Amino acid sequence: MPSLPSMPRPGAGRRDVREPDVPRVPVPVARAVVDCGVYVDGVRLPGRFGYVEAIEEVRRRGEGYVWVGLLDPDQHQMDEVSRVFGLHPLTVEDTLVTHTRPKVDRFDDTLFLILKTVNYVGHDRTDPMARIVETGEVMVLVGPDHVITVRHGDHGSLRRVRRNLEANPELLTLGPSAVMHAVADHVVDTYVAVSDLLEDDIDRVEEDVFRAGARTQVDEIYQLKRDIVELRRGIHPLSHALKRLTCDFGDIIPHEIQRYFSDVLDHQAMVADHVETYNDVLSSLIDAAVAKIGMQQNEDMRKMSAIIGLVAVPTMIAGIYGMNFDNMPELHWTYGYFIVLAVMAAACLGLFVVFRKIKWL
């Protein structure tokens, strides 16, 4: 018997066709630069500088420093900035990672500070998953002749910080660490403003929970609780970083700037206490709201039971007289129909009075 020809295996004779790797065109660093300035004796030099020309100008003069602001840089852009300014590879890695806890590190003569930025958005009652407070990051790298600020997120702009510093040359003369203090002070001030707005929201929710007869919206409480927890994660770790900036790094940070950091630490501690209080209040409100919802459900069940009781009596009587037996009392009586209706009405009225008296209706 002739052998059958072997069938090809599925996929046999095919070659995996892969799309050729398209080389990624690197984005110039200038696309990520928000602003770049050269500061000598607390005054910004006139003209526009690229980050390379700026650091060359400072090193040629032998005085002053550069402040470069970056927005959402990628790996290639940070590598180029690192090459020009001589940054440690670990700082480059940390500047590209978002959702990092606040901290301060030292790499040789460079300080690296990570701050969480916050922005109050407000309630969106149509979307329970919407954020009330948005978060982002600001990284500050301070070296002997440069300050590099890296910002992630759509908020947390530092334009006002730069403008206020340029209007106060005395602070800029204290060196690059003065910029780090100004950024930290600005971020902590936003904590204070956001915490005040959240306090108003919590007060309003608290009034709704304890208002008589009002329906409790637990979703709104959970929204606040979720964002308060997120805010606490960004604020509490900052206290350790600020304490280090007030006590350590005396060879990099002038004593006057360390005093300013102490003031920032006081504000941060105040906001941290407020946030902790808000967290406890919201936990209590959740317990109160759950208890209130349980009471509301019990009240609804009582009303439903009362209504069922009112309907049950005429239903029972109608069911008895609907059994169609021949020998039933008053079945052929002339006034039986009206007497049965009267009994139904009287029973329902009596039950209604009883339920109203015990506040089931």
DSSP string across 310-357: HHHHHHHHHHHTTS--SS-TTSS-TTHHHHHHHHHHHHHHHHHHHHHH
Mean pLDDT, consecutive 10-residue segments, the chain of 361 residues? Answer: 43 43 70 93 92 93 94 92 91 85 90 92 68 88 94 85 92 93 94 91 86 74 87 90 91 91 94 92 87 80 86 86 76 79 88 85 77
47 three-class SS: coil
Task: Indicate the helix (H) or strand (E) that contains 275.
Answer: helix 255-320
One domain for residues 147 and 67: yes
One domain for residues 189 and 40: yes
- Residue 148 DSSP class: E
DSSP string across 163-206: HHHHT-HHHHTT-HHHHHHHHHHHHHHHHHHHHHHHHHHHHHHH
Q: In this predicted structure, what is the pLDDT of residue 289?
A: 82
One domain for residues 218 and 302: no
Domain boundary among 292, 313, 346: 292
Q: In this predicted structure, what is the pLDDT of residue 214?
A: 67
One domain for residues 164 and 256: yes
One domain for residues 269 and 326: no
Dihedrals φ, ψ of 24, to 5°?
Answer: -80, 125
Q: In this predicted structure, what is the pLDDT of residue 7?
A: 43
One domain for residues 252 and 235: yes
* Residue at 216 is within a domain: yes
Q: In this predicted structure, what is the pLDDT of residue 188?
A: 94
- The boundaries of the domain holding residue 248 are 29-292
Q: In this predicted structure, what is the pLDDT of residue 129?
A: 67
DSSP string across 242-264: HHHHHHS-TTTS-HHHHHHHHHH
One domain for residues 237 and 345: no
* Residue at 250 is within a domain: yes
One domain for residues 282 and 333: no
Q: Identify the CATH number of the domain in which residue 350 sits.
A: 1.20.58.340
* Residue at 338 is within a domain: yes
Gap between the Cα atoms of 259 and 301, Å rounded: 63
Query: What domain count does the chain have?
Result: 2
Domain boundary among 239, 269, 292: 292
Gap between the Cα atoms of 91 and 88, Å rounded: 6
The structure tokens listed for 119 are 């922005």
Q: In this predicted structure, what is the pLDDT of residue 124?
A: 64
If one counts every other C-beta atom within 10 angstroms of the C-beta of residue 43, the result is 13
* Residue at 15 is within a domain: no
Gap between the Cα atoms of 210 and 252, Å rounded: 54
* Residue at 13 is within a domain: no
One domain for residues 218 and 173: yes
One domain for residues 232 and 337: no
* Residue at 51 is within a domain: yes
What are the distances in angstroms from CA 30 to CA 26, 69, 81, 162, 301? 11, 10, 10, 19, 67
Domain boundary among 292, 318, 348: 292
Predicted confidence (pLDDT) per residue in 176-201, tens digit: 999 999 999 999 999 999 999 999 88
